[in-house]
Amino acid sequence: MINKVLPGLVRRIFFQNILQAKPQWDHINTKIGINTITTTGIVTDETEPQFLGIEVKFTDKLQFFDKESYNALPIFRILNSSKQEQSPEKHELSEQTLTKMYYKMLTLTVMDKILYESQRQGRISFYMTNTGEEALQIGSAAALTLEDIIYAQYREAGVLLWRGYSITDFMNQCYGNHKDTSKGRQMPVHYGSRKLNFVTISSPLTTQLPQAVGTAYALKQSKTRSCVACYFGEGAASEGDAHAAFNFAATLECPIIFICRNNGYAISTPSLEQFKGDGIAARGPAYGIRTIRVDGNDILAMYSATKAARRYCVEKGKPVLIEAMTYRMGHHSTSDDSSAYRSINEITRWKCNLPIARFRSYLESMNFWCEKREQQSNDAIKESVLRAFTDAEKELKPCWKELFTDIYHTMPVHIEKQLHSMANHVAEFQEEYPTHAFKSD
C-alpha cells in the first residue's frame, strides 16, 4: 500500500475537493504547494518555484512543448559519404589500427556471407548478419579497452571480433558443438566470453540494459577505471527495461555507455511506428544522461564519440547515450524476408552509403589500403572462415547429459533423478535418438 501511496493521496485530495466544492484550479495550487500556505491560511506569492526535484522558473505564457519548439539533435560525422574525402579531424589513430579496423570489418562481412549461405543450405539452424552496421560495431569497440564490460543484443558480432573472439569460436557457437563454451544450449549468434568480458547474449530484448547498469555500479564500487558498454536496437528501446536502465543509470550514477543501433527497422516495423519523438537520442537528456547522435556508418565518428564517452564515464562515473544512425542492409534474420515490407529502391539507396566502402575510400585516399591488399585480405579471410566452418561442422555435439548441468551451481536431487531416468530411457531406445552426433560422457 505504501508503494501506491500517491494514487491514494491524489484520490483523497480529489474527494476533499468535491466535498469542499472549491474551484479546481485553486485547489490544485493548495494541494501541490502545501508549504506555501501560511498558518493563517493565506497563500503567499512566491517568485521562485519550490517544487521538489525540478529547478525552473514560473511562466505566465500558456505554452505546450512539442516538435516545433524543439531542435532535433544533429548527427555527428567525420567521414563524408561522397567520394571526395574531407580531411578528418584528429582521431589519434595510427595507420596500423586503422587498417586493423578495416580488416575486422572485412572479416565480419565475409563471415556473415558464408554463415548466411550455410543457413540457407540447412547446415546451421539460424543466423543474423551484421551488414551495414560493421562500422558502428568496430568503431565503438576500438574505443573501448578489454577491461570494459560489454552487454550486447545480438547484432554486435563485430565487437566480439574486435576483442579477439576467433572465427573458430563463432563457428563452434553457431554449430553448438562440444567446443562451444555455452555447450550448445543457445541458438546461433548468442555468443559470450568471460575472458573477453563479453556477457553471454540472450534473446529477450533489452533485459541486458538494467543488468549492464548493475554491472556498471559494481565497477564503480570496485574503483576499477573501466566502464560498461551496452548495445541495443531502436526497437528494443521501446521495452520497459530501457526506461528502467536509463533512469537507474542516471539516478545511481553508473559509468555506462548506452549504444543504440538505430537501423530504421525492428524486424518489419519501421522506426516511424516505433517512436514519434526525436529518435532515441532525445530521451537521453530527459533522463539527465549526456547524449550524442552519431553517423553509425562513419567508423571514425563512432570511434571518436565512444572514446569521448568512455573518458567521461570513467572520470565522472556517469552514463552516456550514443544513438548510432545506420541502416539494416540485410534481412532481420534468416527467418525473415525483408522484401515483404521494404522496397528494393530503399536498399539500393543505402548501398551507395555502405560503411565499409566509405572507410575503404578514406584509407585509400591516405594510401593505407589498395586494391591488391583488398584482394589478398579477402582471399585469406575466406579461406580461414571456410576452414573453421568445416572444422566446426565435423565436431561432435556435447554429451547430451549437459542438458542437465549448470541449471544450478550443484545438481539438486530432483534433477539428478531426471538425468538418470533419461539415461535409462536412452539406453533402452538408443536407435531412436541421434546419440552418434553427441559426445559420450
Partner 1 sequence: MILSELSTRLVNTRPSFVFNVLNGYTRRRNNVRCLHFTYYTDKKSFADGQTEKMNMYQAINNGLRLVLTKDPTAVIFGEDVAFGGVFRCTVGLQKEFGKERVFNTPLCEQGIAGFGIGLATFGVTAIAEIQFADYIFPAFDQLVNEAAKVRYRSGGEFDCGKLTVRAPCGAVGHGGLYHSQSPEAYFAHTPGLKVVMPRGPSQAKGLLLSCIEEPDPCIIFEPKILYRTAIDEVPTAHYTIEIGKADVVREGDAVTLVGWGTQVHVLLEVADLVQEKLGVSCEVIDLVSILPWDAELVCKSAKKTGRVVIAHEAPLTNGFGAEIASTIQVNIFLHLEAPIQRVTGWDSPFPHVFEPFYLPDKWRCFAAVKNVLNY
Q: Which residues lie near partner 1 (CB under 8 A)?
A: 1-5, 8, 149, 180-183, 185-186, 190, 192-194, 199-200, 202, 204, 207, 209-219, 221-222, 240-241, 243-245, 247-248, 251-252, 405-409, 412-415
Q: Is 333 a catalytic residue?
A: yes
Is 36 or 202 the residue whose CB approaches partner 1 more closely? Answer: 202
151 vs 303 by CB, closer to partner 1: 151
Q: Which DSSP letter does residue 63 get? A: -
| Dihedral class, residue 151 (left if φ above 0, else alpha if ψ from -120 to 50, else beta) | beta
Pairing between β-strand 265-266 and β-strand 269-270 as defined by DSSP bridges:
antiparallel
Closest CA to 169 of 133, 151, 147, 196: 196
Shortest Å distance, C-beta 219 to partner 1: 7
Select 183 or 382, whichever has its Cβ closest to partner 1.
Answer: 183
Between CA 176 and CA 400 the distance in angstroms is 12
Our CB check for partner 1 shows the closer of 158 and 210 to be: 210
C-alpha 310/C-alpha 143 separation (Å) is 8
Q: Which residues contact 258 (CB under 8 A, 6 or more apart)?
A: 209, 230, 232, 245, 246, 249, 289, 319, 320, 321, 322
Smallest gap from Cβ 313 to partner 1, in A, equals: 15
Q: Min. distance of Cβ 229 from partner 1 in angstroms?
A: 13
Selected catalytic residue, list 95, 117, 346, 416? 117
When the beta carbons of 164 and 270 are compared against partner 1, the nearer one is: 164
Q: Which of 203, 268, 339, 421 is catalytic?
A: 203
Q: Which of 118, 238, 331, 332 is catalytic?
A: 332
DSSP calls for 11-33: HHHHHHHHHHT--HHHHHHHHHT
Which amino acid is residue 343, in one-letter code?
Answer: S
CB 210, min distance to partner 1, A: 3
Q: Is 332 marked active-site? A: yes
The single residue listed with the C-alpha cell 572485412 is 106
Smallest distance from partner 1 to CB 123, Å: 22
Q: Is the Cα torsion angle 113, 116, 119, 123 positive or negative in sign?
A: positive
| Minimum distance of partner 1 from residue 291's CB (angstroms) | 19
Q: Which is nearer to partner 1, 209 or 266 (CB)?
A: 209
Catalytic residue among 140, 238, 271, 333: 333
- Catalytic, 395? Answer no
Neighbouring-strand partners of residue 43 = 37
* 3-state helix vs strand vs coil in the chain, percent to 5: 50, 10, 45
Decide: 177 and 395 in contact? Cβ < 8 Å. yes
Please identify every residue annotated as catalytic: 117, 203, 332-333
